[in-house]
Structure 1
Amino acid sequence: MKLLLLALCAVAVAADLTVKDDLLHKQKAILKLLWKVQIPNPDQEQYRIGETYQPLQHYNNYLQFEKTKLEKLVNEVHQKKILPKHEVFSIFEKKQMQEARDLFELLYFSKNWETFYQTAAWARHHYNHGVFVYAFTTAVLHVPYQQVDLRGIELPKLYEILPNLYVPGKVVKKGYEAQYMQEDITMIPIERAHTRHTTVKDPQAFLDYFTEDMTLNQQYSIWHKSFPFWWNPERFSHDNNRQGELFMYLQHQILNRYHLERSAHRMPHVKALEGHHEIKQGYAPKMVYTNGVFMPNRPDFVKEKEYEHSKYVEAKDWEYRVKAAIDLGYVVTEDNQKVSLNSTEGMDILGRIIQGSNYQFKREYYGHLNTWAHKYYGQIQDPLYKYENVPSALQHFETAIRDPLFYRIQKTLNVLYKKYKDNLKPYTKEQLSFPGVEVQAVKVVGESRSSTPNTLITHFEEHQVDLSNVQNKEDTKVKGIVSRLRHEPFQYAITLNSKVTKPAFVRIYLAPKYDYLGNKYDINQKRWYAVEMDKFVVDLKQGQNVIRRGSMESSIVKKETETFRQLYQKVEEAIKNGEKYSEQKTVSNCGWPLHLLLPKGTKEGQKYTLYVVVTDYQEDRVPNTKIPTYQTPHSLCGLHHDTMYPDNKPMGYPFDRHIVSKEYFFQRNMMAVDVTVKNVM
């Protein structure tokens, strides 16, 4: 039971304060830095570094970090002007965001691994644990590999690092009981609506297997660390390629997937927020922060405060200006230059403005609608902190998608996304076709022998999670068990005839056939509600080609990774045996959860249309990039941050633009088949 903790607390053999500069030792050091972050570092070596390291004495080891700025940062730390350790961190609080960003920059501009490691140990010792985890994990994702090569590093699961942001307070309470009883608890149930023995009164609760899925919440947080709204490409060494477009596409896909889950429960789509009115839908997260304070509830029918009306009016002005920019077809830069939105970069520009990651165009004029909404609606009950409320679920990327209000916010932003896309001309036949290629048949088959073609199966399955970090004691294990949605693995079988020998892009989408009342969707409704399932490259030969692709290979998903303990033990074993760690240099910590690739089915079977679109890879490829042969969830996350997004087509192509008619739209390189998704519990 204590082997891992003894390993974590062991004093390094080396006399100096460095860790070997290889991937295995880096992985081990990063894991130790993230263990029990709410208490002083249990690792003696790292604790000693944290206590004794002086960043100012190593000023020359930070690139592009001004000495005056470093002096100010260090003085604020020593004078306790930073966020106290017992307070709750929110990236949407401007002062706290700046504090986290400054720490990120210090790590980001580290000259080498030794400086990065020692700075991280120092930061863990002095900073609020929420600030530290945010800044440190974001730095691991972004630090230039020419300085500190962390390609191939696997971040541990965020819900194991900060479980208080992922599990109910009653689970945390039982974890503390284990601490006082000095015993392991291995089966704390994390309830879901379909597993409760009491009456469920809120229909929204039936979606908690989706909205409160720990991996989904974690991956949403990771995405926003991969593409921070505060990222300034002029300050850092790279621009996150197509960040704005990725942001809008991700939000669109999350909203669509949420609506598919609602349809499975015969619930309508959510509506956009309209007017300065009350918020009908309440939310009770039932979660407790590490300082013992519960995350605030929002009761039904909360009214927006009159004294906050000016902020609302300002945001509506931003929205009107964005709409006007879409209609006019251009935005204005800080130096009053017009930039077209009708270019290939138009969606990226618009997305950056809406996300708040815009540093080129008139920021005060266009605003930052997404970050504004998270803070404004997140503190709607107590905007002046009269009652000293701590941040709500909407004020953390780790918890935002739990709140039903999140989806109304995203629906509001999605209206702008659709307005932009609908203003673009429909694709021509030349833009849709792939001469010489004809898709002849498409079939989807589950892996079990009893599977029926084009019938896919979902079910709920118990899953164990390590929650040892809910308590402060170092030598007890706490495990939770939760019922989560899964699906039977399946395979696409695509038969096509090709008159050409060349590589091709295969794009697969799933679209609902009917609304929640059973009314059939038309082609434009279906294409807008479609979710991307996969996108991959194949080499076509002349004649008939049969393409088989497993669901686990999807370009959308990130496969389930090891627990913190499993990952640490694997690294320890590799070091002990003198083995090399993974040579894979573009490990992605971002991606859609594999177990949520399929929406929940129904007992009788939920009807969908599966679309397969094959396009010319030579036209779609981006110079100096390639789709990796191993599993990398590039569709929603791109590749490494100094790498171009590996697809020239707009995200969502060809379903991102208005379709004139089915007859005009469908070409020989496309095929649609009906599929059914059943849930068997």
Structure 2
Amino acid sequence: MIYFAFFLGLLSTCSTTYTPTSHVISNDSVAHADEPFLQKQKFLFDVLRNIYQPSEIDEYRSPIKKWITDESKYRDFKAVSKFFQLFKTSFLQKGEIFTIFNKWHLQQTHLLFNLFYYSIDWDTFKENVVWARQNVNEGMFIYALALSVMHRKDLQGVELPAIYELNPYLFFNGDLIHDAMVRRMHDSEYGFYDGNIRNAASNKYTSTFAVNYHGEGKLAYYMEDIGLNSYYFYYMLEYPAFLGGAEFGLNKDRRGELFLYMHQQLLARYYLERQSNSLGPIETLNWKFPLKTGHYSMLRYWNGIPFRSRENYFTLNMKNDAKLEQLLDYEQRIRETIDKGYYLLSNGSRINIRTAAAVDVIGNMINGNVDSIDQEYFQSFEMHARSILGQSDHYRLVDELWPGPTMHYETSMRDPIFYQYLERMLGLYWQYKSYLSPYTFDELNFKGVEIKNLVVDKLITFFEHFNADISNGLPFNSEKSQGRSTWNYTVFARQKRLNHKPFGYVLTVQSEFSGKGVVRMYMGPTFNNIRQLNDVKKYYVEMDQFLINLVIGENVIKRDTRDFYFNIRDRTTYTELYKQILRSIDGEEQFVLDMSEAHCGWPDRLLLPRGLPSGFEITFFFIISPHHEPSVVQYSTFYSPVSCGVGSGSKYLDALPFGFPFDRELDTGYFVTKNMIFNNVSIHQVSGIKINQTA
């Protein structure tokens, strides 16, 4: 779903020539990891185990006093030397709260990333990682290591454990963690029993503590879903604002446009979930205080400090008045640039903002990333907005922070005001789009192609129990565990989650054209006429996109949700994946590289909103368009079985704008063409709880 998984290319094949990354053994149908790859994978799982305490592994527990200082061991020693200098004077201590939205934390994280990223070979990287594991703040270490693994070319295909297992404190409420610790204290066998149930602790959503006065507590099952929040974290990790330029190539992925579209899709999906719970429209954040929407988080940091809550009718303190003025000034700069239709660079060059391609310029500008046309002038109003809403300060000293949920990517989507902020931020996107002409009839139409019929299976959703492995966040002592390994110790968080029954559809298409076409599938609010569609089109969610080969005559297209392009399945737990690695090293099985552990996609089970027992009506929309070949052929510059393709420039199926044809104002006189079809469907929620063992 959503351009969330433009990153995917799951199990796809590439028709052009490309040399696979090293450490891959492939045959005609599947790729397997070789021994060096498996050793890298094992090391990373080992070094991240029980990250908040000294490693139980002797090799990584012996004190390392120094990082590698040899200049020849780095591809960019100048960048790394800045880390050497700052670490000696001031760096966030272990055990302190970390947030990437603090200016100083961000600076230090970037330098730590440089230490890992510019290490010239695996041995240098490994030694620096072990040193950092012992000496650097845990949250910063997780972020910088995950970022380097994602962007180092020699680590493509290497997977880290799911972020909700690495750092469960940002995904599961404090009462659950406390419950698990108390059980462990009184029962030495807790975590070692056969079967999951006896090793589980029940996790409750914060519904009883959330903003029930305004209704959002009903949505806790969605806003606190670990798959949803993991998705957002991974996207922002792939495209961090402080990385860019020719070296990382993120601009080749239309990063500005993707940033805007990804957030628009997140907002649209949230809107549909609100509608299925009979909640009203999303309010737009207006920065007029007091802000009525509070949020009472039940999360606790590792050090026991609770997340900072925001009271209903929150009033801005005097210290933040200047910050708010600065925020509004940055926002106004963007609005004025959009309205003018151009921007003059310091060298006199004129950037035209009135073109379709300028969406990338606008997105980078709003994101405040290093690929922005003038980062110093436009800054990042996101940083200011999050710190105001999180009642924190991105200029404070590193040890004076008490952040709320909006100060972390992993927790932002738990807070209802985040979506109000998105409404405001995306107002800039729609302001820019309002200056573009509606698509013409010829741009919308596919001459000679007509969708004659659509049949959709019954749509059914349900809640199920699942067990997520949280043992990595719990203290473990091998001596008190009778010498048993931490890898035999597993504690689960047991929680209910939304899922749906797989469904399919059949499109019947009559074609006078023979060749390639692209099918796009959306879901969104129902409407009475095209004028009303103009108002609600921003809440349409892209569910699927795929290439078809049309033949002259009748074409019957059958598709199942298991085939949907943007979706990913559940991840294997940390412990089970580690055991697979060990069995592969011992030659008992082969470690398959097929993206089955992909982090870069939308959770399949959140494809549909909850629905109602009596049925919740939404609209499915399909459009078949000619295939507009992208500037770089899809998958031609990366090996899709082991990579999400970030920075490759070849992730996308075609060159049409993200969200086409809903990304511009609609001309109601001719919008609906024969190559489109709208169909109202009902989502039925069934009662009862089903069982699923893993997240």
* 1:453-509 deviations in Å (ceiling 9; x for gaps): xx3111111111111123111544321111101011111211112223212111000
Aligned to 1:495: 508
Aligned to 2:132: 123
Shift of 1:412: 0.5
Residue 549 of structure 1 is aligned with which of 527, 542, 559?
A: 559
Classify 1:208/1:395 alpha carbon distance in 2 versus 1 (closer, same or farther; 3 Å).
same
Query: 1:54 and 2:67 equivalent?
Result: yes
The answer on whether the counterparts of 1:282 and 1:300 sit within 8 Å (CA) in structure 2 is yes
Q: Give runs of aligned pairs for residues 280-291 of structure 1, distance below 5 A.
A: 280-291=292-303
* 1:25-55 deviations in Å (ceiling 9; x for gaps): 222222112211111222222334x726631
Aligned-partner Cα distance in 1 for 2:529–2:623: 26
Aligned to 2:475: 472
What secondary structure, in the 3-state scheme, does the structure 1 residue paired with 2:537 have? helix
CA RMSD of aligned residues (A): 3.0
Greater shift in the superposed pair: 488-497 or 86-95: 488-497
Aligned to 1:650: 657
Shift of 1:331: 2.6
Query: 1:659 and 2:666 equivalent?
Result: yes
The answer on whether the counterparts of 1:276 and 1:312 sit within 8 Å (CA) in structure 2 is no
Q: Give runs of aligned pairs for residues 267-666 of structure 1, distance below 5 A.
A: 267-379=279-391, 390-445=402-457, 455-474=458-477, 475=486, 476-513=489-526, 522-577=532-587, 579-584=589-594, 588-617=598-627, 619-626=628-635, 639-646=645-652, 647-661=654-668, 663-666=669-672
Name the TM-score, length of structure 1 as normaliser. 0.87
Shift of 1:416: 0.8
* 1:120-161 deviations in Å (ceiling 9; x for gaps): 222212110100000000111111x2xx2x222222111111
* 1:289-343 deviations in Å (ceiling 9; x for gaps): 1111111111111111234222212221222221121122223335342211233
Higher relative contact order (CA 8 A, sep 6+): 2
Task: Give the aligned residue type for 1:674.
Answer: N
Aligned to 1:670: 676
The answer on whether the counterparts of 1:554 and 1:631 sit within 8 Å (CA) in structure 2 is no
Task: Give the aligned residue type for 1:542.
Answer: I
Aligned-partner Cα distance in 1 for 2:640–2:74: 35
* 1:4-41 deviations in Å (ceiling 9; x for gaps): xxxxxxxxxxxxxxx99732222222211221111122
What secondary structure, in the 3-state scheme, does the structure 2 residue paired with 1:603 have? coil
Task: Give the aligned residue type for 1:458.
Answer: T
Residue 159 of structure 1 is aligned with which of 154, 164, 187?
A: 164
The answer on whether the counterparts of 1:608 and 1:675 sit within 8 Å (CA) in structure 2 is yes
Classify 1:389/1:123 alpha carbon distance in 2 versus 1 (closer, same or farther; 3 Å).
closer
The answer on whether the counterparts of 1:24 and 1:580 sit within 8 Å (CA) in structure 2 is no
* 1:333-370 deviations in Å (ceiling 9; x for gaps): 35342211233431111111111114442323323122
Shift of 1:108: 1.5
Classify 1:654/1:680 alpha carbon distance in 2 versus 1 (closer, same or farther; 3 Å).
same
Aligned to 1:215: 227
Aligned-partner Cα distance in 1 for 2:265–2:526: 17
Aligned to 1:9: none
Give the total of aligned pairs. Answer: 636
Classify 1:481/1:547 alpha carbon distance in 2 versus 1 (closer, same or farther; 3 Å).
same
Query: 1:175 and 2:180 equivalent?
Result: yes
The answer on whether the counterparts of 2:345 and 2:351 sit within 8 Å (CA) in structure 1 is yes
Aligned-partner Cα distance in 1 for 2:118–2:610: 45
Aligned-partner Cα distance in 1 for 2:324–2:102: 18
Task: Give the aligned residue type for 1:31.
Answer: F
In percent, how many aligned pairs have the same letter? 28
Query: 1:114 and 2:126 equivalent?
Result: no
Shift of 1:86: 1.2
Shift of 1:253: 0.8
The answer on whether the counterparts of 1:632 and 1:639 sit within 8 Å (CA) in structure 2 is no
Classify 1:384/1:81 alpha carbon distance in 2 versus 1 (closer, same or farther; 3 Å).
closer
Query: 1:189 and 2:199 equivalent?
Result: no
Q: Give runs of aligned pairs for residues 31-50 of structure 1, distance below 5 A.
A: 31-48=45-62
Classify 1:317/1:550 alpha carbon distance in 2 versus 1 (closer, same or farther; 3 Å).
same
What secondary structure, in the 3-state scheme, does the structure 2 residue paired with 1:677 have? strand
The answer on whether the counterparts of 1:495 and 1:545 sit within 8 Å (CA) in structure 2 is yes
Aligned to 1:242: 254
Task: Give the aligned residue type for 2:314.
Answer: V
What secondary structure, in the 3-state scheme, does the structure 2 residue paired with 1:176 have? helix
Classify 1:23/1:547 alpha carbon distance in 2 versus 1 (closer, same or farther; 3 Å).
farther
Shift of 1:433: 1.5
The answer on whether the counterparts of 1:504 and 1:539 sit within 8 Å (CA) in structure 2 is yes
Aligned-partner Cα distance in 2 for 1:519–1:484: 35
Aligned-partner Cα distance in 2 for 1:519–1:189: 47
Unmatched segments (≥5 aa) in structure 1: 1-18, 446-454
Aligned to 1:27: 41
Task: Give the aligned residue type for 1:121.
Answer: V
Shift of 1:73: 2.3
The answer on whether the counterparts of 1:152 and 1:586 sit within 8 Å (CA) in structure 2 is no
Query: 1:255 and 2:264 equivalent?
Result: no
Residue 98 of structure 1 is aligned with which of 101, 104, 107?
A: 107
* 1:74-114 deviations in Å (ceiling 9; x for gaps): 3544x472111010100001111111111112211222222
Shift of 1:436: 2.4
The answer on whether the counterparts of 1:536 and 1:627 sit within 8 Å (CA) in structure 2 is no
Classify 1:627/1:168 alpha carbon distance in 2 versus 1 (closer, same or farther; 3 Å).
farther
Aligned-partner Cα distance in 2 for 1:331–1:288: 45
What secondary structure, in the 3-state scheme, does the structure 2 residue paired with 1:423 have? coil
